[in-house]
Structure 1
Amino acid sequence: MMDPEMLHDPITGYGALREQGPVIRGRSIDGSPVWFVTRFNEVRQVLRDPRFLNNPLTPSLNRAAEDAPLAWTLREMGLPEHLHGYLLESILTNDAPEHTRLRRLVSRAFTARKITDLRPRVEEITDELLTRLPEYADDGVADLIQHFAYPLPITVICELIGIPEEYRRQWHQWGSEPVSLQPDETGSAFAELIENIHELIRERRRALTDDLLSDLIRAHDDDGSRLSNVEMVTMVLTIVSGGLETTAHLIGNGTLALLTHPDQLRLLKDDPALMPRALHELMRWCGPGLMAHLRYASEDIDLAGTVIRKGDTIQPILASANYDPRHYTDPERLDLTRHPAGHAENHVGFGHGAHYCLGAALARQMGEVAFSKLFAHYPDVSLGVERQHLKRTPLPGFWRLTSLPLRLS
């Protein structure tokens, strides 16, 4: 996974692995052995099979906490050891029945109605950011990533969670630092963010309001069980880290894809109703998440003719699955009409199975609003540099532009 060529061009790299076979032996980010699962059907099989566990610390796997790949990542990020539990024990890493309990409690506070009701505010925030974009332009060129793609989701997330105005500037800063890849910045940003969320929970317990944080406090199971303070902090962190990065770079990658495929952009401009289908195709073709969370075999399992031994680590590769010619006709082609309206999701950009992305509906909504309004505000927008000069951050598991300079008119 850390091979320079794989980091530089993961779509081609993992695509080559896919054509070698559906299950390939390799090495994970920390150098430990892993099984790469590369093809569409096999990736979906792993993601929906409860025998492939999310939690490496499940007692039956006999793994030490410090040996978990995620623990290695947290150390590399500079996160203090005493804060690791906030990310090692989240809804993303738990399995049933604990995952089921957490998801059921959180889903009651993360309803489709709440997301729908948020849309007018998402549109207002989008308009405000796009109107201000020329303020950041140098000779008519502005960076979409810094001044739109990141500010939009972190602002919407602050609205959803219920972050007071006096904290917003700090949250915008925290929203950029956890992805700065600088351990001294990342570790301190998470530590400050965790403490601030604890403080907000204490404030909300004194006076509940109409926001997600209050809903998390109110939420309880049929047996009366509730989220603990640590679980609430972890859930907010999960929403921030997952929703911010994915949405920001879906907007960045998708904008680049549309600008470099003018025929597809023209389709979208001529038929705005195509947007929901287009969003799914952009998530398939240039979604920022290259792979799902690691899975761990709870027993010996035959996967596409390869025996995965109990305790083995499995890495489902979403990017190679989304380009699998066994499932898609001409997968290399960007086709905004590919996904039939009203049909089930035909890609794994948001995952699959029990761990399907909890915030997928919000991410789709923000993406749809962002693309629609960007090209409405700036119908003649174009790349501000030659495409070959664009740079991506070499980050395993993620496909993100460092910047996206756009000429606004």
Structure 2
Amino acid sequence: MPRRQAGKPHHAHWPTKRTTAAMDATAYVRIEPAPDDLHGGEGAALRAAGPVATVALPGGVVAKAVTTREAGLRVLSDPRFAKDIQHWEAYRHGRIPADWPLLFIVEGKGLLTADGDTHRRLRRPVQRAISPRRVEALRPRVEDVTRRLLSGLATAPAGQETDLLRHFALPLPLDVICLLLGVPDEGALRDELHELSTAAMNSEASVEEITGTVGRRFPATLMSLIERKRARGDRDDLTMDLVGALDAGELTEAEVIGNLVITVIGGHETTVNLICHAVRGLLTHPETLAAARARQEAGDDPWPDVVEEALRWDSPARHVMFRYATEDVEVEGEVIRAGEAVLVPLTAIQRCPHAFPEPDRFDPGRYASGRAAGHLAFGAGAHRCPGAPLARLEAEIALRRLFETYPRLALVDRPVPRVPALGINGFKELPVVLRP
């Protein structure tokens, strides 16, 4: 595929006959950055295409996608599906545009792109920083931040529309991940890290955004943070744990930056989405919210099951990108060829009626009864998200306190666009009316 001319804006476009002659005889499902109907449109089309579908991604890039829970679990767990981009035949042969918006993520040096011993080496300091003990130690901080944010919401006039994402769901996990990373308390740097992570996940980014905001500014901002922390003699946080591994020769500078990028993005963007999707699920299913309140009044804790159902019902991560077949692998009767890139569309898989009866219904009871198949929102196997316990803790506390404080919280009934990202699944806002 010819390289685009640097400096000219580029936005995601669909394949044409000029760029995809090899696809002419192939039926494929188009994956859009911000589909109007993610579940009834894209999700249904993927499932209808069979257990292994051919998909067209923005920028004319072609991949495979698995569409059943069993196939997804297989791809996520089988070591023959690797994460190192060098296994991708189209990439090795220069068929991926240099300005493809997703390259910043899939070319990075970090947890998302490593296998085997390298992956274990990169994962070790992150795993230490968010061990179950450290996560539980964060509970008081999460409670404090939640109370502070809810107090701030109380200043809004009763009955006025409020963006719950901006004023609650976003600042909570952003504060916590910045605490783990040792980011100074001043708001400017925290806001900049959120801006950069949003830009990095934008699947409609222009050339300028890819090479400038994302490719240069994100790493430069993180290097500046490291230098400031070195000068201050900081020690006990994830950033300095990674720097210590760098100084000891265990990590390269690119690997430190790669791990920090993924931690910033994964440490708050997906938790924002988790909280928002749970709120939407409860407010669009009043009988489910009533059942959760009844459980709580009876002395039971409904919020862990609510969080699990939110993770299934509208996964905070939209697709797992990518796995690359290192050899021909048969998956549910279909062969994925060596060198092919494989997408795992979580939002489609987790609305599959065969794995999850009544998939469009927000029903935490399916987890309380133990009758539901396990979701794949945090991945599976060796690459399962190490931040899962922290995300669950934050979401459970946020939802419990939110609905205790605003038992008559109401969703504003109007369309809200999704963010244009293939990696994460979120809305641009969450408009609600607060009713104390």
TM bracket (short chain): 0.7 to 0.9
Q: Report the alpha carbon displacement of residue 99 of structure 1 after superposing the two structures with TM.
A: 1.0
What is the TM-score normalised by the length of structure 2? 0.81
| Correspondence list, 1:249-398, <5 A | 249-272=273-296, 273-340=301-368, 346-383=374-411, 385-386=412-413, 388-398=414-424
Instruction: Give the aligned partner of residue 18 of structure 1.
Output: 47
Distance change >3 Å, CA 72–CA 353, structure 1 → 2: same
Instruction: Give the aligned partner of residue 136 of structure 2.
Output: 116
Distance change >3 Å, CA 5–CA 98, structure 1 → 2: closer
Q: How many residues align?
A: 395
Instruction: Say which SS state the counterpart of residue 121 (structure 1) adopts.
Output: helix
Instruction: Give the aligned partner of residue 219 of structure 2.
Output: 194
Residue 403 (1) aligns with residue 435 (2):
no
Deviates more, 1:303-312 or 1:60-69: 60-69
Distance change >3 Å, CA 117–CA 299, structure 1 → 2: same
What is the TM-score normalised by the length of structure 1? 0.86
**In the TM superposition, what whole-angstrom CA distance separates every residue of 1:366-403 from its partner, at most 9, and x where no partner exists?**
111111111112111112x32x4333334435432221
**In structure 2, what is the Cα distance between the partners aligned to 1:338 and 1:55?**
36
Q: Which amino acid aligns with 1:284?
A: R
Identity within the alignment, %: 34
Instruction: Say which SS state the counterpart of residue 293 (structure 1) adopts.
Output: strand
Deviates more, 1:168-177 or 1:124-133: 168-177
**In structure 2, what is the Cα distance between the partners aligned to 1:86 and 1:197?**
19
1:144–1:406: 8 Å Cα contact kept in structure 2? yes
1:109–1:216: 8 Å Cα contact kept in structure 2? no
- The partner residue of 1:52 within 81, 87, 95 is 81
Residue 179 (1) aligns with residue 179 (2):
no
Instruction: Say which SS state the counterpart of residue 8 (structure 1) adopts.
Output: coil
2:34–2:417: 8 Å Cα contact kept in structure 1? no
- Tell me how large the CA RMSD over aligned residues is: 3.0
Distance change >3 Å, CA 191–CA 32, structure 1 → 2: closer
Instruction: Say which SS state the counterpart of residue 114 (structure 2) adopts.
Output: coil
Q: Report the alpha carbon displacement of residue 42 of structure 1 after superposing the two structures with TM.
A: 0.6
Instruction: Give the aligned partner of residue 79 of structure 1.
Output: none
Distance change >3 Å, CA 310–CA 74, structure 1 → 2: closer
Q: Which runs of 5+ in 1 are unaligned?
A: 76-83
1:295–1:314: 8 Å Cα contact kept in structure 2? yes
**In structure 1, what is the Cα distance between the partners aligned to 2:143 and 2:277?**
20
**In structure 2, what is the Cα distance between the partners aligned to 1:165 and 1:65?**
45
1:290–1:399: 8 Å Cα contact kept in structure 2? yes
